[in-house]
Amino acid sequence: MPVSVVTGGAGFLGSHLCDRLLAEGHQVICLDNLITGNIANIEHLAGKEAFRFLKHDVTEYIYLAGDVDFVFHFASPASPIDYLELPIQTLKVGALGTHKALGLARAKNATFILASTSEVYGDPLIHPQDESYWGNVNPVGPRGVYDEAKRFAEAMTMAYRRFHSVNTKIVRIFNTYGPRMRARDGRAVPAFVTQALNEEPLTIFGDGHQTRSFCYVSDLITGILALAVSGESGPMNIGNPQEMTILDLAQKVIAITGSKSKIIFKDLPVDDPKVRQPNITMARNILGWEPKVGVDEGLPIVIDYFKHCAENRKVRN
């Protein structure tokens, strides 16, 4: 039975990764300090013999007895609200946390998978974005704490690959949505859905013509696991290339929910990307992967999740 460590395993993406790994026969050790993760995301795994949760800050030394085959480093604040409220923690987990997780992978001779982000491309000057693009990032802007933490994490990962011969993989994750997102994490899908369900105005920052590409969480996890067992090291984009404007997304949420909510516009945040669309040619050609769940199929699932999640329904954005 393969043994996988998932840092940030109680978070949105990390918890879905834990689920899939267990379903595929892995023993899973979930590490999370619960700063942005939620124990509710993994409570359904309590009592499973193959699952273990350890409350641990991965910026501190990680000691685990026994063999480890994979280290999935997913620990990090990942939403605008989180990394703007937790700037130092975001930088520390990108730097010190990546260093400690890589050290664990090296000690255990395990494959290391870094959850990087499309934010390494910043406010891109090419469109769509492919893996050869170096990005257009403002290192001293408010978003720089997240962008540069992930760029540093990629550099650290490559240093361990080159200097210590650790088998590393880098996945650049584009906008992803699905159940277990928090209503107030600052991202468009949960914000619009909870606002619509509460009959509140949907808040768009800017004129709404900025674009995003939304990948359903099950597709993302499939792509990440395909990369983990492949011979490719990356960086590799994993995301849905179906691009849409934020205004189109808001209107679609209103239509699906049947909400009477109106749309209001506020100032665009500093350094907010104007476009975001992955070029997934590498994933298609090397992994044979591409997303299967479109927004029209995925959004109703997320809407149903928030509709029936009492805690999230009470949240006012």
Report, as residue numbers or ranges, the catalytic residues: 146
Which spans in the chain are helix H?
12-23, 80-85, 87-92, 98-108, 144-164, 188-197, 217-228, 246-257, 281-282, 295-307, 310-313
Q: How far is residue 124's CA from residue 118's CA, in Å, rounded to a whole number? A: 10
CA torsion sign for 288, 178, 119, 210 is positive
CA torsion sign for 242, 171, 229, 178 is negative
The residues, ordered by sequence, that sit 6+ positions from 124 with a Cβ below 8 Å of its Cβ are: 133, 135, 136, 273, 275, 276
**177-186 CB burial, b ≥16 within 10 A, e <16:** bbbbbbbbbb
